[in-house]
Amino acid sequence: MNLDAITTIEDCQKLLTAEIKTFPDWPEKGVNFKDVQSILYKPELALITSHYLQELLPKQDVDFLFNKILCFDARGFLFGFDLAKASKTPMILARKPGKLPGEIITQTFEKEYGLDEIQVQKSLINPGDKVLIHDDLLATGGTAGAAAEIILKCGAEIAGFNFIMDLSFLPGRKVLQQYVDDSKIKALLTF
């Protein structure tokens, strides 16, 4: 893989589209699972992905338009930490129940495969914060929508959403449009 050949976001998108593996009928029949492992297995591909995800971050001139980034357990952590470091903003972990200490906020949501919950430590999101939500994949919008609800419960603002992949044939983007304008929902790839 020649990193020098990837000079635009379009080059990155073509490369990722070719490299990301799809597993049909997993974890259940009818689901075509897009596997982020394809990116992680090749360090050069992960570097390129991280670089172009950073290009999608909401900013005006040199100033970022968010002051915290919320990322999901576990795949959202992988590139979310790179985004937090690049923007010099705190990263907040959204995790499954029973994984976080202290006072927490829980939000139940519907996923592609049934009901689920995420939790965030309550003291990390405050009124006036502008929180960017990052995950690897936008599908039905359940996980990201649950994070948006937690942010609103804390009196903070949703700065936008950032994903590696958007499965545009699923309703996720429409779900998130109830929280922000479509221009604030960014994905490196659309399938």
In the predicted model, is pLDDT for residue 113 greater than 80? Answer: no
**pLDDT beyond 70 at 160:** yes
* Residue 5: per-residue pLDDT: 85
- Residue 33 backbone dihedrals phi, psi, to 5 degrees: -80, 120
Q: What is the pLDDT of residue 1?
A: 62
Which amino acids are annotated catalytic? Answer: 75, 112
pLDDT digits (tens, 9 = 90+) for 10-25: 999 999 999 999 999 9
Indicate the class that CATH gives domain 3-190.
alpha beta
DSSP code of residue 5: G
Total number of residues shown for the chain = 191
- Cα-based distances in Å from 38 to 56, 111, 154: 21, 23, 36
The pLDDT value recorded for residue 101 is 97
User: Which residue in the block uniquely carries the two structure tokens 């960017």?
Assistant: 132
What is the mean predicted confidence (pLDDT) over 134-157? 96
By the 10 Å C-beta count (0-12 exposed, 13-18 middle, 19+ buried), 190 is classed as: middle
Query: What's this model's pTM, rounded to 2 decimal places?
Result: 0.95
pLDDT tens figures, 46-62: 999 999 999 999 999 98
Tell me the domain boundaries of the chain.
3-190
* Mean pLDDT for the stretch of residues 154-177: 97
H/E element, 190: strand 185-190
Residues 66-104: b if buried by 16+ CB within 10 A, e if exposed = bbbbbbbbebbbbbbbbbbebbebebbbbbeeeebeeeb
Long-range pairs, 2-6, Cβ under 8 A, ≥24: 3/44, 3/47, 3/48, 6/48
